[in-house]
Structures are given as structure tokens and as C-alpha cells.
Amino acid sequence: MGQGGEIHLKTLILSQQGERIPVELVGIPREGMFLITLRDLREQLKSEEGWARSKKELMEKIRERDEYARELQAMKDLYKEKLKEIEKKAKELEEMREELTRLSYTDDLTGICNHRLFIQELTREVDRQKRYPTQLSLLMIDIDYFKNYNDTNGHLAGDQVLKTISMIIQHAVRGTDVVARYGGEEFCAILINTGKEGALAIAERVRRMAAEMPFPNENAQPNGDLTVSVGVATFSSKISTVTDLIREADNALYRAKRAGRNKVEA
């Protein structure tokens, strides 16, 4: 960094309480000073370790299921009295395979929900409105001029921006909300029990936090900064389906883009 270079590494830091904390460190020299960003990796490492254990266990169970399947026909003739027990075991293994599929509903790059799980969760919340009407809003968030940033700085730098923006959104919303990568540089957030005013406040928090975050070489962006635009839609009698919410939030996002970007529209 002292020679003008940029660093990306994973290391450990020591807290005041003596705890060794794994972090991802990004350091950049900027205007006579060093800017260092740290991301706490403890929860990610726990999730990765838990995922690895679950995957190993589930793969072993799936292997057992395949062995059962090959022997099943012969066992039907010889052990009819055992058939129900075997079929029960096969059902349990199938349920575990489905659980493995569910665990795969995570975006590989950012670690948040992927598009598939987003649609599933939004459908669930819309269906819930029919039984227990409350308030529900949706944010669509797009990184402004992201292609320009990728072309200028490379895909690795672009990937780091995607990770950082996903973290910003997660910090801006509440723990009960659902954050997902919709696709490419577009993200979304399902805001549970949140009306239009609350959704606009959260959307503005996302926009402001992104604008204030110092990204490497962001001054090369067309607007001199790396920012996001946000579209907001709120469930109502006229916006009452998954398609309606996505369409209205997307339309609001495009209005924010047309208004000059780095804006929130509803």
C-alpha cells in the first residue's frame, strides 16, 4: 500500500478482549492516507463449516438411498414384510435430498438468497397477506453504471462491489426482512410488515450508505461516484400479486434511473 498498490487478503485481528477474529481485509491508498475495510468472517465461516458438514452427511445418506434403490426390487420378492420399512427409509432420504436442494438456494458470490429463493419467499409473503393482512413492501436495487465499473476495474473489483452492496443492504434492513440477489448487479429486499413510508426510509438508507461508501476508483464512474438507484412498491388492492409487486418496483427503479440515478422512487 505504501507503494501505491491495493491489497486484498484474509487475516486475523485481535480484539480488545483477546479474541482472534477472522476478517477479509481490503486496503487502498487514497489521497495521502490508507483506507482499510474489514469484513467480519466469523458467521460466514460458521455457515461454511456447517454447510460442509451437512453436505457430507446428506451426500452419504443419498449414497445409501441409491444402494437401497438397486436392491429394492430383489428385496420385494424375498422380504415383503420389510417393504414398508424400506419405503419409509427411502422417503426419509428423499426428504433429506430436498433439504440439500433447499440449502443450495444461496447466491455463491454474495452469500445472500438467490433469485429462486427470492421468488419463493415473496410468494409466501403475498399468500400470507390473504390470510393475515398486514403491510408488505418490495425494494428493487440496481448499481448505477456497474458495467462501466467492471470494464474499468475488472471483474474481481466488480465482484467485490457486489459483495459490499449486498452487505450494505443487509445492514440497512431489519433482521426479519429478506435480501436477495435478483440477478447481475440487481438486488431486492422483501420488507415484512412495512408500509410505503417505512419502505421509503429504508430505501433512502440503502441509497445513502452506498453513496457514502468509498469504493476503489469510483471517481472514474460517469457520475463520479459508485451509487445505487432504488425502486419501491407496496402491497395494496391494486398491487396484490408477486408479478404486480416486481413490476411496480421495477418500474419505480427505472424512473429513478431516468431521473439521474442515485435516487429512490416509489
**Using CA atoms, how far apart are residues 232 and 264, in angstroms rounded to an integer?**
8
The whole-model pTM stands at 0.63
Class of domain 115-265: alpha beta
14: DSSP letter? E
**Using CA atoms, how far apart are residues 84 and 86, in angstroms rounded to an integer?**
5
**Using CA atoms, how far apart are residues 98 and 91, in angstroms rounded to an integer?**
11
The whole-number pLDDT of residue 79 equals: 66
Q: Return the SS3 of 25.
A: strand
What residue spans define the domains of the chain?
A: 7-40, 43-103, 115-265
**Using CA atoms, how far apart are residues 123 and 131, in angstroms rounded to an integer?**
13
**What interhelical angle do 83-103 and 42-78 show, nearest 10?**
160
Tell which residue, 160, 168, 261, 156, has the closest CA to residue 212.
168
The whole-number pLDDT of residue 51 equals: 78
The whole-number pLDDT of residue 103 equals: 66
Contact 231, 52 (CB under 8 A): no
Contact 169, 141 (CB under 8 A): yes
In this structure, what are the phi and psi dihedrals at residue 21, rounded to the nearest 5 degrees?
A: -110, 120
For the chain, 266 residues long, give each residue's pLDDT as a single digit of tens.
Answer: 777 788 888 888 898 999 898 888 888 887 778 888 888 888 887 877 777 888 888 888 888 888 887 777 776 677 676 667 777 888 888 888 777 776 678 898 999 999 999 999 999 999 999 888 899 999 999 999 999 999 999 999 999 999 999 999 999 999 999 999 999 999 999 999 999 999 999 999 999 999 999 999 999 999 999 999 999 999 999 999 999 999 999 999 999 999 999 999 99
